[in-house]
Amino acid sequence: MELDQKAVRLKIYLGESDRYEGRPAYQAVIELMRKRGLWGATVTRGIYGFGKRSLLHTASALRLSEDLPLVIETVEAEAKILPLVPELSKMVKGGLITVEDVKVLRHLG
């Protein structure tokens, strides 16, 4: 990456049970990002959290949640991320999408 490009971090907060066209939404999002040639993306599974409805979701052994919180995160040039946001918004109906400026110090492709 040329370091003079403006880079952003895109984060998508959603639940494990969220679906898009009959399949897990996180898988559909990651596949779209890969198809669009982004540098990379990671899905992180939360062990405890709550969302818009304030329902607690936990990975506790005593209470097995089937809807743990997930975060999809990627860092990419702003010019590649911003055009994706409308499509991602259709895929992530009940989640939260954020974009923030970041400074990339090193990117080895």
Q: Does residue 15 fall inside a structural domain?
A: yes
- The answer to whether position 107 is within a domain reads no
Question: Which CATH number do you get for residue 42?
Answer: 3.30.70.120
Residue 83 banded pLDDT, cuts 50, 70, 90: very high
Closest CA to 16 of 7, 5, 24, 6: 24
- Is the pLDDT at 93 greater than 80, yes or no? yes
Please report whether residue 108 resides in a domain: no
Q: How many domains does the chain have?
A: 1
Specify if 109 maps to a domain. Answer: no
For 4-61, write each residue's pLDDT tens digit.
678 999 999 998 889 999 999 999 999 999 999 999 999 999 887 777 666 666 655 5
Does 2 reside within a domain? no
- 93 lies in some domain: yes
Identify whether 87 is part of a domain: yes
Query: Under the phi-then-psi rule, with left for phi > 0, alpha for psi from -120 to 50, and beta for the rest, what region is 80?
Result: alpha
* Residue-range definition of the domain harbouring residue 59: 7-102
Residue 32 falls inside a structural domain: yes
